[in-house]
Amino acid sequence: MALIRNGCLDARGKHGGYAEQFSYIVSGNPRVVGSTPANAWNNNNAGGFGYVVSHLYDASVANGNDDSPIDGGNFGTYRTVFLGFNHAIHEFKLNYPRWGTANGTHVEYQVPVTIQWMVVTGHDNPLWIVTYDLSAVPSGAVQADSRAPYGDMQFDGTTDTSGGDVIGTVAWGETNKFSTTSGDVTFDSAWNWNSTNTFAAYNYLDTKTTDAEMGIAAVQTINKEDAGGYQGGVGRGATSADTADTCMASGGYTMPCDWVWPFQSINYSFSDDTSDTPSKRLAWGLDWYLGQASFTSINNNNAVVGWPYVSYSTYIVVGQKSTTPTLVAAAQAQTVDNTSIVANSGVTVTASGVAGIGRSDTVNYSPAGFDPVYAVWRLKSTGGAANFHVQVSGTATQALTNPVFVISGVSDASAPTSVSVGGVALTANSNTGYYASYDPVNQQVWVTLMKSFAPTTNLGVVIGL
């Protein structure tokens, strides 16, 4: 992954803070995922990935200014939060303009936004983490969504300036799962939106011919980390056979109307109702609650809070569509909910932590020990080896895969000295063992266990400290 720093203008004439390139292995060879070029269907304003984009509920509040600028136009700052041998966190800060109404007057507020990218050896998907700080904005003055992370990447690996392979499937999950079901995607594609989503929220695209996919998946299940919104909902619970839920009446096509998709992607990239598209636009989506102290989301009436802070974390997924990488990432949230960490000796399970990056307020972890900001399990050393059990209930639909444990209160930079799972010693820096990093500033040891803990698992873990 290649990130663009945001302290100066880059080659595109933007300030950075986004990813310019990803890569992964296909049949033993690297597939390079680069920024989409400018062409007839994309002016490249969103080339790259990880931009902040937010739309106002009422665009007229912006007094004729752009109500949803791409954050690459905003100067910011960069720092490395943590750089270990196998775990790293990079941070970008910027001010994002949000217009609001205070005392009957339209006001432009500069909202501080903090973004972090976390990469972990043994994990395919980098984690994109954000906090909007609206504490200096009056409660209720701003009403907006968030479509971040946002951007365009040629995830099929092509360098073709025409855009490469056309889109074969568009799919998302909020309260329900949506997927097109017939060939390449056009506005007249068949679709299904009638199965319940018990995973995290997600949004993904794959390509028709190339075995390639790009997606975004939340860290927690939809009832804990709400996502998806706007006017979305018309068609939820239905299929394209239910013509009342298609866009036949309003737009004359079979898909749900472009303005009701709960996550933005290629819905604004078709030239007509029957043509496919090579557009690779992909984005996240929150309902209209940015700036609102309390709000009822369109997603199953979830109660959400959009002031004074909004924080969330998402995996950025690129991979082969044949392995369903986005759905696999989203399903991990359900497995996490069915996992318990039981401390035996040498550690305690951390009960709470900060509610988001750049914040001091805290939340209780649910399940105990799981930090949803960084998607890691947190423990505190009480002396001696960390001895605990990982229990995955039989109701999980997939294994807990390659979990990351962060143990605080460790002053020895040589930690861990050893790691075992189920009584079997693991090899350091091995895809069948573990990967570790030591954080001297916070006196923490980070350990990624390269193991799958299947449903009904109850395995002991010992980490020498």
Going along the chain from its start, the domains and CATH numbers come out as 2-329 (2.70.98), 338-464 (no CATH)
Q: Contact 141/117 with Cβ under 8 angstroms?
A: no
List pLDDT tens digits, range 116-170: 999 999 999 999 999 999 999 999 999 999 999 999 999 999 987 778 999 999 9
User: Three-class SS string for 404-451?
Assistant: EEEEECCCCCCCCCEEEECCEECCECCCCCEEEEEECCCCEEEEEECC
The proportion of the chain whose per-residue pLDDT surpasses 90, expressed as a percent, equals: 83
List pLDDT tens digits, range 165-185: 999 999 999 999 999 998 899
What confidence score (pLDDT) does residue 72 get?
A: 67
Q: For residue 205, list its beta bridge partners.
A: 170, 214
What confidence score (pLDDT) does residue 73 get?
A: 63
How far, in Å, are 6, 217, 461 from residue 3 at the CA level? Answer: 9, 20, 35
Residue type, 162: S
Local structure of 259: helix, strand or coil? helix
Q: How many CA atoms lie within 13 A of 291 on its CB side?
A: 24
Cis ω before 416 (30° cut-off from 0)? yes
Give the residue, 45 or 55, on which the prediction is more confident: 55
* C-alpha to C-alpha distance for 187 and 294, rounded to whole angstroms: 35
Within 10 A of 251 (CB to CB), how many other CB atoms are there?
Answer: 15
Whether 280 shows a pLDDT value over 90: the answer reads yes
Give the residue, 206 or 230, on which the prediction is more confident: 206
List pLDDT tens digits, range 324-357: 999 999 999 999 999 999 999 999 999 999 999 9
Q: Contact 404/377 with Cβ under 8 angstroms?
A: yes
What confidence score (pLDDT) does residue 254 get?
A: 95
> Which whole number is the average pLDDT over 198-215?
97
> Which whole number is the average pLDDT over 183-206?
96
Give the residue, 61 or 159, on which the prediction is more confident: 61
End-to-end CA distance of the chain: 31
Give the residue, 93 or 7, on which the prediction is more confident: 93
